[in-house]
Amino acid sequence: MTLLHRSLVAIAISASLAGCYTDTEATVPMPENPEPLLPLDPKDISLQIGDSTIDAMEESVVITTLEGEEKRVNVETFKGIDYATQARFEHSEYAPLADEVDATEFGYACMQNRATAQTQDEDCLNLNIWRPAGADAGEDLPVYVFIHGGDFEYGSGSEALVHGDTVVAQGSDDGKPFIYVSLNYRLGLLGSHWVDGKTNPEGGNFGLGDQKNALKWINENIYHFGGDETNVTVVGQGAGAMSLGILQQDDNKAPIANKYFDKAIMQSNPYGFEYKGYSAAESIATTVCEELGLYDIETGDNTLKSTLNLVLAIVPDDVKEILEPIIEQMDDE
């Protein structure tokens, strides 16, 4: 094809395309592209829960129904409620619901070696409750309690992945309302350092003891939030599933299953990992204390007793002289 022919063909194509664009309105309607539905701003609310006045949040959640429709559903959220108090390397103490509670923000996450959305602190034994908006005491709603995973080393009940707002909103919209609870428990050495069961009847594990106190708290208080304390399902993922396996074991002294919960769901239960027995936990504790210079060969003492022990074991000698009186005063307080 000659250059002239090519030019004529190009001109003809351009002219035909130009004819396609006119000022005439289209006879076929264009498809609609609606704006996505967004949640409304959360609202502060103050509620009477049993004998307590609790400041909480009413939040708007956007869900997609089975029919593909987007809609807003309101839920009420109670964040960071303390269920127990704790001292380092001791079992936690149950804490009743206070007379006045600020439950508008998540509490501290437990100490761990990974970043968390919330600030980490040892004062971390708190739980979160999501319920349908307008629920009240005596409604006897089913209760689901979630124990997070993380190898007993990391995780939190306030991480976005385990929030209960969406599932509670979906259940409420589907006519099957329920209450969802997530919780924190101590992790790492602070949660699972071995305790000699011969000298300490409670023995270990501190993190599992925290979970027991949380379940006790739910059993004694969830009625006031509209839940049925006799219809509690505990859901555990990973280390949470391993925790459930332990919590379901029969304990005549302090039974947990069939007292604080009657159903269990274990997700990704890591059966490939051996559950630590008494001797294995003792051996790990000995190794840790040997590395820190805290193991007493003569007495076999491998307990982590205080802030002073932990800090002075790892700082240079010249710094010890400066820190020792300060830390001793902290421990006394």
Summarised one tens digit per residue, pLDDT across range 38-53 is 989 999 999 999 999 9
pLDDT of residue 10 exceeding 60, the answer is no
Say if 151 falls within a structural domain: yes
pLDDT at 317: 64
267, 297, 315 - which closes a domain: 267
For range 274-278, the mean pLDDT: 72
> Which residues have C-beta within 8 Å of that of residue 98, sequence separation ≥ 6?
52, 82
Question: CA 205, CA 278: separation in Å to the nearest integer?
Answer: 10
For residue 197, the SS3 value is coil
- Give the count of beta carbons closer than 10 Å to the beta carbon of residue 60: 18
Say if 242 falls within a structural domain: yes
pLDDT at 83: 98
Cα R_g (the chain), whole angstroms: 29
**CA nearest to 268, candidates 311, 235, 294:** 235
pLDDT of residue 313 exceeding 70, the answer is no
Say if 18 falls within a structural domain: no
Say if 31 falls within a structural domain: no
Say whether both 283 and 254 belong to one domain.
Answer: no
For range 129-143, the mean pLDDT: 96
Q: Which of 54-58, 274-278, 302-306 has the lowest mean pLDDT?
A: 302-306
Say if 8 falls within a structural domain: no
pLDDT of residue 93 exceeding 60, the answer is yes
pLDDT range class, residue 35, cuts 50, 70, 90: confident
Q: Which of 204-208, 272-276, 282-286 has the lowest mean pLDDT?
A: 272-276
267, 296, 322 - which closes a domain: 267
In our burial notation (b when 16+ CB lie closer than 10 A, e otherwise), range 10-24 reads: eeeeeeeeeeeeeee
Q: What angle, 0 to 180 degrees and rounded to 10, lies between the N-to-C axes of helices 239-247 and 206-221?
A: 70
pLDDT range class, residue 328, cuts 50, 70, 90: low
Say whether both 208 and 283 belong to one domain.
Answer: no
Q: Which residue has the higher pLDDT, 22 or 161?
A: 161
154-181: per-residue pLDDT in tens? 999 999 999 999 999 999 999 999 999 9
pLDDT range class, residue 91, cuts 50, 70, 90: very high
**CA nearest to 189, candidates 149, 155, 153, 157:** 153
> Which residues have C-beta within 8 Å of that of residue 10, sequence separation ≥ 6?
none
Say whether both 246 and 293 belong to one domain.
Answer: no
Q: Which residue has the higher pLDDT, 191 or 332?
A: 191
For the chain, the domain total comes to 2
For range 238-260, the mean pLDDT: 85
Q: Label residue 171 exposed, middle or buried (CB < 10 Å: 0-12, 13-18, 19+).
A: buried
Q: Which domain holds residue 230?
A: 43-267
Say whether both 250 and 312 belong to one domain.
Answer: no
CATH number at residue 199: 3.40.50.1820
222, 241, 267 - which closes a domain: 267
Say whether both 259 and 290 belong to one domain.
Answer: no
Say whether both 215 and 305 belong to one domain.
Answer: no
pLDDT of residue 36 exceeding 70, the answer is yes
pLDDT range class, residue 289, cuts 50, 70, 90: confident
Say if 28 falls within a structural domain: no
For residue 76, what are the β-bridge partners?
A: 58, 131
pLDDT at 4: 47
